[in-house]
Amino acid sequence: MNQLTKHLSLFALCGLIGLSSYAQKEVPKGWHLLDAKDSGYYGISLEKAYEFVKAKKLKSNAVIVAVIDSGVDTLHEDLKPVLWKNPKEIPGNGIDDDKNGYVDDVYGWNFIGGRDGQNVEKDSYEAARVYHKYKAKFEGKDPSSFKGEEAKEYAMWAKAKGDVASNVEDPTMVMMIRRTVNEFKAADSIVRAELKKEEYTCKDLSTYTTTNKQAAAFRDRFVAICKANDTDEISNKMLLDELEGEVAKIDAADIAPKAFRNDIVKDNYNDFNDRFYGNNNVMVSNSAALHGTHVSGIIGAARGNGLGMDGVADNVRIMTVRAVPDGDEHDKDIALAIRYAVDNGAKVINMSFGKGFSPEKKWVDEAVQYAASKGVLLVHAAGNSAQNLDTSWNFPTPVFENGKRAANWITVGASAPFADIKDGGLTASFSNYGKNEVDVFAPGVKIYSTVPGGNTYQNLQGTSMASPVVAGLAAFILEYYPNLSAEQVKYVIEKSSTKPGQKAYDPGTHEEADFGTLSRSGGIINAYEAIKLASTLKGERPKTVTPKTTVKPKKKA
């Protein structure tokens, strides 16, 4: 999962075509919370929802929302009041007070950290990992000779091989990417020397002048990328990491990816019962925590305190579970992150990440079933590849290997502020979509929220931002109607969504389409309509049925 420019075309990164149209028209901070009829922006009508519960004199109940992500700034002014703190753990004593296997897990847990304090920030891509893992076994072999599990492995490997090969099939593009990286690195060294800063952002470049033509050209292209992302907080490190990630995809055709995770975490990855690894550092660094901090603020940044922005839900506790690097996450970490969140009381889990392959999908499926057995709702970002998920994959998914579907899962596409198709229409140009596989859309363009730095905020965009809008709404519903099941909350959110009944752009074909054909519900979430519908339902707690699992219980000391 690349965290910033992942929805921008690589051509745009290299400066060969125009950038995102969303940078051309301003929107107010917090537009995603507004009412479309009152403001003209297709927000979620949140204030009307709060007026509804206030009129009914309903009392809210605290809801724990787990954010499985890249990390969170636990010192941010707008997040400190809403962070979950493990009530059974004594901070900093080096003892596993609650005996859950994770020492000093005060704010949550970091599943991509080492016991020695090292942490995974950058990682490889799953396609490359799958391709090289099975290359010796399958290269040049007759696919008809494989049966059962081996046949499934071969099919996955063959697809991964195709993905890896696609990154080098255009020699001109490969040459352009390598040249761009080299040019950016050379220019970056000049800018760093002249600014006397090792890490700088577009904000620093706003007053930067130079007589060096190479540095000036780099500055202009860098500023254009920031403008397209509607933020001046992208750093040179983030940008170069993004481009070097593209180089890594090219290199993967011939070179096996470095074992970033295994070198640091040092668990036995193939043994799912070797699960008590990691550390309690849930932030790691500003760059690592950028994505997760932004997501957390969207869900539940303290409301009404006059600082920065307001989250969707007003009585949540954000549990931080770090499992997502800059690159593709690993299935084991995601499966254990889900289980950790469930075991520690989360009722909603936000998952703003995704990848094209899931070699250990069975572990994730079992974790999803475990969450369902405990009445926990999973909210997942649809992805930012402008693909139809009815015909492509973005893992994890609610569809199990046996073909059955999780009922406690919502897949979220990203919507845009404007109804007029001349302004881009209601679909974000980068958003994945699908009449069967995307459940609903939510605002995901130019979303203003918390970022690391203690008191810092900025706009980011992606389905990563749309998913926490839905997770926040789910938490809001459960605050006031705590007896509703995960399935009922899913029903409420989808059934009450606003159906614009107008044309939009199909992100994949770039042609006009009925907005209602791009998701299963055909709508954009509406908090006011959702809470009204929730008020009419009788809470039906699901029966607790623990599914079969390959996880063995922890032995008592």
Q: Same structural domain for residues 130 and 210?
A: yes
Q: Locate tokens 């046949």: which residue?
A: 151
Q: Same structural domain for residues 108 and 137?
A: no
d(CA 163, CA 146): 21
- Nearest C-alpha neighbor of 71 from the set 334, 394, 293, 401: 293
pLDDT band at 19 (very low <50, low <70, confident <90, very high): very low
Q: Same structural domain for residues 189 and 113?
A: no
Q: Which amino acid is at 448?
A: Y
d(CA 281, CA 114): 10
> What was the pLDDT predicted at 53?
98
Bridge-based pairing state of the strands 409-415 and 447-451: unpaired
Residue 416 domain-assigned (yes or no): yes
End of a domain among 192, 220, 251?
A: 251
> What was the pLDDT predicted at 556?
43
d(CA 197, CA 451): 21
pLDDT band at 442 (very low <50, low <70, confident <90, very high): very high
Statement: residue 535 has pLDDT above 50: yes
pLDDT band at 18 (very low <50, low <70, confident <90, very high): very low
* Average pLDDT score over the chain: 91
Burial 39-73, CB ≥16 within 10 A → b, else e: eebbbbbbbbbbebbeeeeeebebbbbbbbbbbbb
Domain count, the chain: 2
Q: Same structural domain for residues 420 and 330?
A: yes
More confident of the two residues 21 and 240: 240
Task: Please check whether residue 237 is in contact with residue 224, taking contact to mean a CB–CB distance below 8 angstroms.
Answer: no
34-87: pLDDT as tens digits: 999 999 999 999 999 999 999 999 999 999 999 999 999 999 999 999 999 999
More confident of the two residues 246 and 305: 305
Q: Is 279 exposed, middle or buried (0-12, 13-18, 19+ CB in 10 A)?
A: buried
Q: Which amino acid is at 164?
A: V
Q: CA 465 from chain center: how many Å?
A: 7
224-256: pLDDT as tens digits: 888 776 677 788 988 888 888 889 899 999 999
More confident of the two residues 402 and 14: 402
Residue 554 domain-assigned (yes or no): no
pLDDT band at 2 (very low <50, low <70, confident <90, very high): very low
pLDDT band at 149 (very low <50, low <70, confident <90, very high): very high
End of a domain among 202, 221, 251?
A: 251
pLDDT band at 5 (very low <50, low <70, confident <90, very high): very low
> What was the pLDDT predicted at 16?
34
Average pLDDT over residues 83-111: 97
Average pLDDT over residues 207-216: 95
> What was the pLDDT predicted at 17?
32
Q: Same structural domain for residues 151 and 91?
A: no
Residue 545 domain-assigned (yes or no): no
pLDDT band at 554 (very low <50, low <70, confident <90, very high): low
CA atoms 325, 327, 330, 336: torsion sign: positive
Within a 13 Å sphere around the CA of 121, how many CA atoms are in the beta-carbon half? 16
Cα–Cα separations (whole angstroms), residue 43 to 294, 443, 526: 18, 7, 8
Residue 9 domain-assigned (yes or no): no
pTM of the model: 0.92
Within a 13 Å sphere around the CA of 280, how many CA atoms are in the beta-carbon half? 18
Q: Which two tokens stand for residue 342?
A: 């469930």
> What was the pLDDT predicted at 330?
98
Q: Same structural domain for residues 97 and 206?
A: no
- Nearest C-alpha neighbor of 438 from the set 342, 335, 515: 515
d(CA 180, CA 245): 13
d(CA 26, CA 13): 22
Q: Same structural domain for residues 196 and 288?
A: no
Statement: residue 517 has pLDDT above 70: yes
Q: Same structural domain for residues 106 and 32?
A: yes
Q: Same structural domain for residues 230 and 361?
A: no
344-379: pLDDT as tens digits: 999 999 999 999 999 999 999 999 999 999 999 999
Q: Same structural domain for residues 135 and 231?
A: yes
d(CA 164, CA 433): 24
Average pLDDT over residues 304-324: 97
Helix (H) or strand (E) holding 417: none
184-210: pLDDT as tens digits: 999 999 999 999 999 999 999 999 999
Q: Same structural domain for residues 115 and 54?
A: yes
Statement: residue 527 has pLDDT above 60: yes
pLDDT band at 309 (very low <50, low <70, confident <90, very high): very high
Residue 377 domain-assigned (yes or no): yes
Q: Same structural domain for residues 485 and 369?
A: yes
Structural domain including 138 reads 126-251
| CATH number of 453's domain | 3.40.50.200
Cα–Cα separations (whole angstroms), residue 40 to 31, 35, 36: 10, 7, 5
Q: Where are the alpha helices (DSSP H) in 167-259?
A: 171-195, 202-205, 213-228, 236-251
460-512: pLDDT as tens digits: 999 999 999 999 999 999 999 999 999 999 999 999 999 998 889 999 998 99
Q: CA 144 from chain center: how many Å?
A: 38
Task: Please check whether residue 127 is in contact with residue 134, taking contact to mean a CB–CB distance below 8 angstroms.
Answer: no
254-268: pLDDT as tens digits: 999 999 999 999 999
Q: Which two tokens stand for residue 396?
A: 């994890």
Q: Which amino acid is at 365?
A: D
